[in-house]
């Protein structure tokens, strides 16, 4: 579980000491914190679970970085609503969820609404893939809170809480691939209007299936080897018979700026022969 978002911020005045794999932080008594504060340590967010003494605190999870003395400027304290802190400290979080802060600009972006985020505040969010290979989203508002973007700042959460409305336009639909050599490709292309970094994920459906799509991996199917299945061009080799004839392929299209995910049409098939 990661905590992603900003409301207010104050840098520590002194260094802290942290140990990889340990939740204990040693600090200067002059830097005060309370249970529930968020500490951004070298740009990773942690919640203060326990204040052991004026010079020692316990984080809600072990420190993931290298054992070090962290400079004061790299230790930022923020204070989220009490309900958010209690949610984490009492164990409501899990590795499959993220806590996302959504400001009053992000809450109006249409692509955020497709992920179930319908207003400003702190949200518990996760995404998952169904048995049929489709992506689904689950979002629950923990604390409604109206804070403008200029006040809250921004964080590395744009794939979930987009700052701008980025639109994916599918260009080239993958075409059927017929190969007598046993090697070939499928190609997908799309454009975006906000310069987000494109991402691709290929999926395969068997000839007899009607709903289920499976993520492509190198050795997904017997009698064929796949490559480049997270790029615009899915490559295959080693096809030596007609067993896979009629298998269908589609590409899942995403961007780094949180556009609503799209799929290619899933009509492209593979055929061994000439």
Per-residue pLDDT tens for 18-40?
999 999 999 999 998 988 888 88
Res. 64: pLDDT tops 90: no
What are residue 174's phi and psi, to 5 degrees? -55, 135
Res. 6: pLDDT tops 70: no
Percent of the chain with pLDDT over 70: 87
Per-residue pLDDT tens for 131-159?
999 999 988 888 887 776 655 555 566 67
Please give the structure tokens belonging to residue 37: 């504060």
Per-residue pLDDT tens for 235-274?
999 999 999 999 999 999 999 888 899 999 999 999 998 7
Res. 14: pLDDT tops 90: yes
Residues 106 and 214 in one domain: no
Torsion sign over Cα 252, 154, 121, 97 = positive
Which pLDDT belongs to residue 2? 47
Which pLDDT belongs to residue 221? 97
For residue 96, the Cα-to-chain-centroid distance in whole angstroms is 10
Total domain count, the chain: 2
Of the candidates 97, 83, 92, 85, the one whose C-alpha atom is nearest the C-alpha of residue 143 is: 83
Res. 202: pLDDT tops 60: yes
Residues 178 and 245 in one domain: yes
Residues 94 and 179 in one domain: no
Where are the alpha helices (H) located in 210-253, listed in sequence order? none
Q: What is the mean pLDDT of the chain?
A: 87
Residues 58 and 72 in one domain: yes
Residues 125 and 7 in one domain: yes
Lookup result for tokens 């691939």:
177
Q: Identify the bridge partners of residue 233 per DSSP, sorted by sequence position.
A: 187
pLDDT tier, 1 (very low <50, low <70, confident <90, very high otherwise): very low
Residues 248 and 153 in one domain: no
Q: Which domain holds residue 211?
A: 168-272
Beta-sheet pairing, 2-4 with 98-102: parallel
Label residues 202-214 b or e (16+ Cβ within 10 Å = b): bbbbeeeeeeebb
């Amino acid at each position: 579980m990661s905590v992603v978002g900003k409301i207010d911020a104050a840098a520590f005045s002194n260094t802290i000491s942290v140990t990889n794999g340990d939740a204990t932080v040693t600090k200067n008594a002059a830097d005060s914190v309370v249970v529930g504060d968020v500490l951004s340590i070298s740009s990773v967010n942690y919640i203060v679970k326990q204040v052991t003494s004026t010079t020692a605190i316990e984080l809600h999870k072990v420190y993931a970085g290298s054992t070090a003395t962290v400079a004061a400027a790299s230790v930022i304290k923020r204070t989220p609503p009490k309900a958010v802190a209690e949610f984490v400290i009492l164990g409501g979080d899990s590795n499959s969820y993220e806590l996302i802060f959504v400001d009053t600009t992000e809450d109006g972006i249409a692509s955020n609404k497709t992920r179930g985020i319908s207003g400003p505040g702190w949200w518990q969010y996760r995404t998952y893939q169904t048995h049929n290979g489709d992506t689904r989203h689950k979002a629950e508002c923990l604390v409604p809170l109206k804070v403008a973007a200029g006040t809250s700042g921004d964080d590395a959460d744009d794939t979930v809480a987009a700052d701008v409305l980025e639109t994916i336009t599918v260009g080239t639909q993958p075409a059927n691939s017929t190969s007598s050599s046993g090697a070939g490709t499928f190609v997908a292309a799309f454009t975006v209007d906000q310069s987000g970094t494109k991402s691709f994920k290929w999926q395969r459906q068997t000839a007899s299936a009607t709903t289920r799509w499976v993520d492509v991996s190198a050795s997904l199917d017997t009698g064929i080897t796949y490559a480049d299945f997270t790029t615009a061009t899915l490559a295959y080799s080693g096809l030596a018979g007609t067993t896979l004839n009629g298998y269908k392929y589609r590409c899942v299209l995403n961007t780094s700026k949180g556009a609503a995910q799209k799929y290619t049409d899933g009509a492209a098939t593979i055929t061994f022969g000439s």
